[in-house]
């Protein structure tokens, strides 16, 4: 796919995806969701990519929501299809991606933008970031997983308040809620993200894949998270990464993980 609304930069086994629709404050339309789907799939299949950072272009917005002009006149059936396809193509894909995905929230993350950030494995925000789910002010509710992931991250009561008031929280409040892991000045956002993902990339990508799966299992109503952890723990022992990691520890050297 020729990318129209995103661009990708790769350096030191780290890929940075930038959503590039500055005139629309990086709002998600169908084309952008399709491009992000393709980019995440291709980067995940690239063994050289150890981690992914996603951010928005400019200094105003990460993603300021979905592109309302695309669906303002949808029927019930079309709206159902929009949410179902979007969740499958992008939001569930990112949440379950074996490659770590970190959201660098560089401004407004509203509606679908916050839902995209929440589907990432964790989030880091700039001081000017503001986050919210304003959908009820438009007569609709979050449709890309917001009603599920926000309570998981900040608790039911706070999530109910944010969703029902359609209000925004600033970066410091998001940090206090546990919605983001760190808050830094805008110019330090990507350097901190790169510092953290560099640390991640030094570890076993196979073990990280199993860890992501086990953590996510604990948030699924039909999966026993503890059983998933036991399975993942056991499976690690059959990998070359485990052999290398334990050998390196015992030999007092740095591990060179083969990724298998």
Residue with tokens 């050998």: 247
Residue with tokens 């009603």: 147
Catalytic residue, candidates 42, 59, 115, 251: 115
| CA dist., res. 81 & res. 144, Å (int) | 11
| CA dist., res. 215 & res. 196, Å (int) | 19
| CA dist., res. 19 & res. 57, Å (int) | 6
Structure token digits, residue 260: 């298998």
Backbone CA torsion sign across 108, 112, 116, 119:
positive
Catalytic residue, candidates 10, 11, 135, 251: 135
* Strand positions, DSSP E, 57-181: 61-63, 101-105, 108-110, 122-126, 130-132, 168-170
Q: Is 115 known to be catalytic?
A: yes
Backbone CA torsion sign across 74, 6, 171, 160:
positive
Among candidate residues 116, 18, 118, 34, the one with its CA nearest the CA of residue 70: 34
| CA dist., res. 66 & res. 140, Å (int) | 12
Please tell me what DSSP assigns to residue 23.
G
Q: Is 135 known to be catalytic?
A: yes
| CA dist., res. 78 & res. 157, Å (int) | 31
Q: Which residues are catalytic?
A: 115, 135
């Amino acid at each position: 796919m020729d990318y129209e609304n995103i661009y990708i930069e790769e350096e030191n086994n780290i890929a940075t995806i930038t959503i590039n629709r500055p005139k629309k404050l990086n709002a998600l339309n169908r084309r952008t969701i399709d491009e992000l789907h393709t980019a995440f799939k291709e980067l995940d299949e690239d063994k050289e990519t150890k981690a992914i950072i996603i951010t928005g272009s400019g200094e105003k917005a990460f993603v300021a929501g979905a592109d309302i002009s695309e669906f303002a006149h949808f029927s019930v059936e079309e709206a159902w299809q929009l949410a179902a396809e979007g969740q499958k193509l992008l939001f569930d894909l990112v949440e379950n991606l074996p490659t770590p995905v970190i959201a660098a929230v560089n401004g407004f993350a509203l509606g679908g933008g916050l839902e995209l950030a929440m589907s990432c494995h964790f989030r880091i925000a700039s001081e000017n970031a503001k986050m919210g789910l304003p959908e009820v002010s438009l007569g609709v509710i979050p449709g890309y997983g917001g009603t599920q992931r926000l309570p998981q991250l900040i608790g039911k009561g706070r999530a109910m308040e944010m969703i029902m008031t359609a209000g925004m929280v600033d970066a410091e409040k998001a940090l206090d809620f546990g919605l983001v892991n760190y808050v830094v000045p805008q110019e330090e956002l990507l350097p901190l993200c790169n510092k953290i993902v560099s640390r991640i990339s030094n570890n076993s990508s196979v073990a990280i894949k199993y860890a992501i799966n086990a953590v996510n299992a604990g948030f699924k109503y039909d999966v026993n998270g503890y059983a998933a952890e036991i399975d993942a723990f056991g499976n690690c022992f059959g990998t070359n990464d485990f052999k290398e990691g334990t050998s390196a520890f015992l030999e007092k050297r740095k591990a060179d993980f083969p990724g298998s």
